[in-house]
Amino acid sequence: MFTKILVANRGEIAVRIFRTCADLGVAAVAVHSSADAGALHVRTADEAVDLGDGPASENYLNIAKIVQAAVDHGAEAVHPGYGFLAENAAFAQAVTDAGLVFIGPSAHAITTMGEKVAARAVAAAAAVPLLPGSAGAVADEDEVTRFGEAHGYPLLIKASFGGGGRGMRQVPGPDEVTDAYASAVREATAAFGDGEVYVERFLVDARHVEVQVFGDSYANAVYLGDRDCSVQRRHQKLIEEAPAAGLSDAMRAAMGEAALRLVREVGYVGAGTVEFLVEGESFYFLEMNTRIQVEHPVTELVTGMDLIAEQLRVAAGEPLSRTESGVTNGAAIEARINAEDPAGGLFRPAPGPIYSITAPQGEHLRWDAGYESGDEVLPLYDSLVGKLIAWGPDRDTAIDTLLVGLDGLKIEGIATTVSAAAHILATEDFRSANISTRWLETSVTLPEPEPAEEPLGRDEVYVQGRYFRIPVFSDGVRSGAVVTAAHEDSGNGERRSTARRGPGRTKVAGDGTLKAPMQGTIVEVKVAAGDSVVAGQLLFVLEAMKMENPIHAPHDGVISTVSVAQGDSLPAGSLLAEYAEAV
C-alpha cells in the first residue's frame, strides 16, 4: 500500500478520497486554486499545494503543475477523482513518466474507452449491442444533418472526450441541428479542452443503467452490480440507485457479462463504469467512464465495499479483494444535492455562501459533502454540494429512509435541489420505477415552494460597476450574518435555502431592464437592438458552473438596447438588455 498520495481534484470527491486515506493510514496531499485556499478538501488533507490563481486551465487542469506538486511533496501516486483530468490520457501518462502511479487505468485504456468514438469500436469488437451512430467524430453540422436524414430523428450530439452530460445536446429535428451542434462543441471545448463531438440516435423512452466494473493487473475482472441513473436534467444525473429496479435476472446478467467483455477486450485495470441505454428487454452500449463515478456510494452500500480503498489496493499491485460478480444486498438510493434553483424545472446554478448545513443522522443514512457551514460555493466550479445516500433491505425502505433524510437535511444560504429530490422520490412513477431519461423533464412538475420569509427591506446597489444586494434582517439575526450576506450576488439573494426570488430567475425590472440571473460568461447573443421578441424566445446563453444556461424573453416586446457581447464575463445582476417600454 502507498504511504502518501496526491489527489488531483477538489470538492466532495477529494474529501471522500481523503476519508479513505485516513482509514488506511495513507498521507494525503491536496491541490487547490488560490480561490479554493480555504475549501473543505484543503482543510481535510494532510498537506496542500496552491496551484495559483486564474481559471481551472491554469490550476486544476494544469498537468505539469500537478505532477510537479506530487513529486515535490513525496507522493507515490496520484488519484484523479472524477471530472477535471480524471479521463485525460496525457495526464495519466505524465504521472507514469514521472515515476509515480496513476490510480486508474492505463493511458491506453483511457484513450481507447474514454474517447467515446473509439469505445464504440471496442464495443462492436466485444459483441456489445450498439445504437446507430456516426463512424467517428463529425466535422460540422452538415454531417449531423446527413446522419439524421439516413437514420431519423431525434439525435444526440455528444462530446467525444466528455462525461457528466457536458457537451451533449438533443436534436429533435433538422431545424435544431445548427444551434445544437454549436452549443455542444462550445460546451465540450470549455469543459474538456476539446470540442470534438459525434452523433447517435436518441432513444426517447430509454432508461440509463450502468454496471460497475473492476479489473486488476492479474487479469481478474468482476462486475459489482448495476445502477439506475435515469432521473436526469440536462443529461446530468440527480437520483441514482442500486440495483436498477425492474430488470429481469437474465438482462441483469447479460449486461454484466457484456461489461466484462469490454474490460477484457482492453485489459482494463482499476475502477470503471459501463453505461447502457435500456428499452424494453434490449440494451445498448452508451459509453464507458474510466474513473470512479459520482454515484459510487450506492454500490458501496449494497456490496459492503470501499471502492476508493479497492482502487488504491489495485493500483498498488494487489489483486481484487472480491472475485465473484453481481453479489449485492438490499437497495441504496442517492440524491445529488446541488447548488441549483429547481424552480420551474430550470435548475439554474445558485452559487454563494452557505450559512449552515445540518446533515441528518441515521443508521442507514450517509452524507458525503464537499462543504461545511460557512463555506462558499464558488461559481467557478460545478454545483455539487454533497450527496445523501440511504440503504434499505428493499427498494421501498431505501426510498422511505432517504425521504426522511432529505427532510432532515437543512442547508441555509443558497438554493439547492433538496426539495426537488424529495418531490421526485415521492412520486408514484418513481416508486414504481416507471421512469426514463426524459421523465423528469417531460412528466414531472416540480411544485413552487412557499415564498421565503421576507426581510424587513433590501437595497440593490452598484459599487464600481459590480452588483450587490444588501439585505436587512430582523433584530433576531446577528449582524455578522448581514455582513456575510452582502457578498457580490451570485444567485443567493435570500438567507433561507427556500428563497426563490433571486437564484436563477431572469426577470424584467420595473424599469424594463433584463439582468443576468447569476455570475457567468456570455457565450451567445441571439438578439439585437430593435428586435421584436416573444415570450420564451432565446435571447442569451450564459455559461456558469460548467453549464450553459439559456436566458429567454420573459414576455413579448421590443428590445431597445443590448448591453453585452459574446465573451463578456459578468457578475450577477449585470444589465443584459432593455425593453423599449418599462413593464
Cell of 310: 479497492
176 SS3 class? helix
Instruction: Compute the average pLDDT of residues 553-580.
Output: 89
Tell me the domains of the chain and their CATH numbers. Answer: 4-103 (3.40.50.20), 132-201 (3.30.1490.20), 207-443 (3.30.470.20), 506-583 (2.40.50.100)
Q: How many C-beta atoms surround the C-beta of residue 548 within 10 A?
A: 22
Tell me: the pLDDT tens digits for 209-268? 999 999 999 999 999 999 999 999 888 899 999 999 999 999 999 999 999 999 999 999
Distance (Å, rounded) from C-alpha 486 to C-alpha 576?
22
Tell me: the pLDDT tens digits for 37-54? 999 999 999 999 999 999
Residue whose cell numbers read 470503471: 272
Residue 35 per-residue DSSP state: G
Please state whether the peptide bond connecting residue 243 to the residue before it is cis, i.e. omega within 30 degrees of 0. Answer: yes
Tell me: the pLDDT tens digits for 418-462? 999 999 999 999 999 999 999 999 999 998 755 444 333 444 443
φ/ψ bin of 17: left (φ > 0), alpha (ψ from -120 to 50), beta (otherwise): alpha
Task: Tell me: pLDDT of 502 over 60.
Answer: no
Least-confidence region, from 171-185, 186-200, 289-303, 531-545: 186-200
Q: State which amino acid sits at residue 484.
A: T
Which uninterrupted H or E stretch holds 5?
Answer: strand 4-7
Which strands form 532-533's sheet, in the order they lie side by side? 513-515, 575-579, 557-562, 532-533
What would you report as the CA-atom Rg of the chain, rounded to the nearest whole angstrom?
23
Distance (Å, rounded) from C-alpha 398 to C-alpha 389?
9
* Per-residue confidence (pLDDT) for residue 459, from 0 to 100: 45
End-to-end CA distance of the chain: 66
Task: Tell me: pLDDT of 380 over 80.
Answer: yes
Nearest to 244 by CA among 304, 324, 164, 331: 331
Q: How many C-beta atoms surround the C-beta of residue 482 within 10 A?
A: 15
Distance (Å, rounded) from C-alpha 211 to C-alpha 213?
6
Cell of 101: 502511479
* Per-residue confidence (pLDDT) for residue 572, from 0 to 100: 76
Distance (Å, rounded) from C-alpha 22 to C-alpha 41?
13
Residue 5 pairs with which residues in a beta bridge? 28, 77
* pLDDT grade for 31, boundaries at 50, 70 and 90: very high
* Per-residue confidence (pLDDT) for residue 478, from 0 to 100: 31
Residue whose cell numbers read 495559483: 52
Instruction: Compute the average pLDDT of residues 84-88.
Output: 94
* Per-residue confidence (pLDDT) for residue 151, from 0 to 100: 87
For the chain, give the mean pLDDT. 87
* Per-residue confidence (pLDDT) for residue 152, from 0 to 100: 87
* Per-residue confidence (pLDDT) for residue 449, from 0 to 100: 58
Task: Tell me: pLDDT of 569 over 80.
Answer: yes
* Per-residue confidence (pLDDT) for residue 450, from 0 to 100: 53
CA dihedral 442, 292, 164, 437 (to 10 degrees): -20
